[in-house]
Structures are given as structure tokens and as C-alpha cells.
A and B are shown apart, each in its own frame.
Chain A
Amino acid sequence: MIEPLTLLTIVLMAGATYFTRIAGYLFLRNRTLSPRLVTVMESAPGCVLIAVIAPNFVSGRPADVIALAVTVLAASRLPILPTVVIAILSAGLLRALLP
């Protein structure tokens, strides 16, 4: 069984996402976006992602901050799976070693 409120959330999410998928085709197929708007739309998803994880950068716990730095380094050069493993291991180890 699924909670009605969870179902409603999922359906509204899916509706919003489908809207973004067809909007460009429906409204912009005969026009061109200004370069400025293209630049803004290219950086928008990254702005959202970094805002979501912003609290991790100011947790104030030395172990977590170092583990996050290790994770940033891993993410900049490795694919998803090794990065996640390194992130989990470094956080687990550092929390055990540091106060």
C-alpha cells in the first residue's frame, strides 16, 4: 500500500518534470533563447544541488569537514561508485578517530 499523501507528492513531482520535458518543444521550437538565458539555465541545476548540500559544509564537526573535503576531491576525478565508497569509509573512519 502507498500513503495517499506520498502518491500525491509523486504525481505532482512527475507532472512538474513532464512539464519541463515538453515545455521547450512546445513553446520554444520556433524561437531561440538569448545566450544570457542559456547561461542561466545551464547553471541553475548546479545551484540547486549545491544549496541542498550546503549544510554539510558548515557542520562544525572536524571529522565531517575533513571527510567532505576528501569526498570533494574524490568526486572531482572518480565515478559515482568509488566516490560513494570513499565518502562513507572516510566519514566512518574519521568519526571513529577524531572526537
Chain B
Amino acid sequence: MSEFWRGLKVSLPVLLGFVPFGLVLGSQAAAKGLSTLDITLMTALNFAGGSEFTVIDLWTWPPTIPLIVALTLLVNSRHILMGAALAPAMRHLPARKVLPALALMCDESWALGLDDARKRGGVLSLPFYVGLSLGLYLSWPSSAAIGSIVGPILGDITRYGFDMAFPAVFLVMLAGMWQGVSAARPWLVSLVVGAATYLAVPGAWYVPAGALSGIAAAYFWAQSND
């Protein structure tokens, strides 16, 4: 079996976790007035679910572009760390191959790619990584597109509680990031400051206010632990 196919096969069980997220994202995008083409293009070019859910949740017309770009950078800042962690396993590859390959890096392809590289003496198999990433990548815009088409139909039935799907998705993502109460303390700061700002200040300022105060708290707590 070629390395590419081995990677594609590893991606299959992970797809089960990808597709429902894509469906929910697509239907939420439709509820916010985005077309199937809009959400397909967004998921195909951006390919980072956390930032897409955030942007869709705050979507207004016209879009607040500086806020959207800033939040995308914030939500996806973990990629910087992931890329740095993967870099030693890619030293044998030229940058002209690594840079396009990194466009497909998501939490799952990163974790599985790094795990596979560790089993092979710390060297990433590029065809394996590409097969794995491509399987995951292709499922994302297609499930979002399907979600945006079937979502409005389903939305008529579930309309009265449908808005609760958003916090549900975010809470599942947070549960996936959970690393214990101590590590979650900055999240509590973000929640309290975000909620207080929402009650006191009109507009979407509660997002940067909550996020940045949590990050500042994380910085402060990490320092005092050193």
C-alpha cells in the first residue's frame, strides 16, 4: 500500500467527526444569509472550523472585516505553535513542498501526522501526510455545502431551539480543548469579562474584550507558575 493511500485510510474514521461539524456550520451559515457558494468558498479557502464558526456567529451585513480578520488570527493562533512543533519532522523536505502542505494542516492532520512521524524516528512521511490531510480537507467544504442546502429545510422544524446549536458547537469544541480546571481559568475570565462587556457596551466588542482579557490572564498565571 502506498504511503498516500495509508494516509487516506487513516483519515476515514476522523471524517466521522468532521462531517457533522461541517453540516452544522453550513446550516448556520444559511441561517445567517450566506449562500451555498459563500460557505463553500469560505470552508475551501480558510479550512479552519473554529474561526469559521466564530465568523458566522458574528456575521453582519456589511461584514466587519477588521474584527473578522483579528478573530480569525486569534482563534487560529494555535497553528503557529503546531507548525513550530511539526517543523523538526520536516527538515528533510524543501520549503517549496512544506509550504503548500501546511495549507492543509488542521488539528487532526497535525496530531496524526506528528504521531506517525514519531513512530518513524521523527521524520514525517509527506505522501502519508498529504493523503491524510486531503481526505479531511475534501470532506469539509462538501459537508458545509450540504449543510447549507439541507439546513434551511431542517430549520423549519427545529426553528424554536435552533439558535442553541451555536453555543452547543462551541461548548463541544471547548470540551475537546479541556486540560483541567487550572488550565481553564483564563476561559472563566473571558466568560465573565465577555458577558459584562456584552451587557454594558453595544456591538460585538464583548468578543475582543473577553478574549484578550482571558489571554492576558493566561499570560499572568503562566508567569507566576514559572
Residues of A within 8 A of B (CB): 1-3, 5-14, 16-25, 28-29, 33, 35-58, 64, 67-68, 71-72, 74-76, 78-81, 83-84, 86-93, 95-96
Contact = CB atoms under 8 A, between A and B. Distances in A.
Contacts, number: 291
A26 B148 CA distance: 36
Interface string B37-62: 11001100111101100110110001
The 5 lowest CB-CB distance pairs between A and B, nearest first, are A24-B83, A51-B210, A54-B194, A92-B161, A47-B214
Given A29-B87, A36-B222, A90-B164, A46 B17 contact: no
Contacts of A17: 46-48, 51, 72, 76, 79
A65 B155 CA distance: 22
Nearest to B77: A44
A81 B19 CA distance: 10
B112 interface: no
25 contacts: A9-B65, A9-B68, A10-B41, A20-B77, A21-B105, A25-B98, A28-B83, A29-B84, A35-B222, A38-B81, A39-B218, A40-B218, A43-B187, A45-B77, A46-B190, A47-B218, A48-B207, A49-B173, A50-B194, A54-B191, A57-B191, A57-B195, A75-B174, A78-B172, A87-B165
Contacts of B12: none
Contact of B63 (A6, A46, A55, A58): A6
A73 B17 CA distance: 19
Interface in B179-221: 179, 183-184, 186-187, 189-191, 193-195, 197-199, 206-212, 214-215, 218-219, 221
A23 B38 contact: no
Contact of B45 (A3, A10, A46, A53): A10
The dominant DSSP class at the A interface is helix
B177 interface: yes
Interface residues of B, number: 99
A39 B74 CA distance: 15
Contact of A25 (B63, B90, B177, B191): B90
Which of B84, B103, B194 counts the most chain A CB atoms within 10 A? Answer: B84
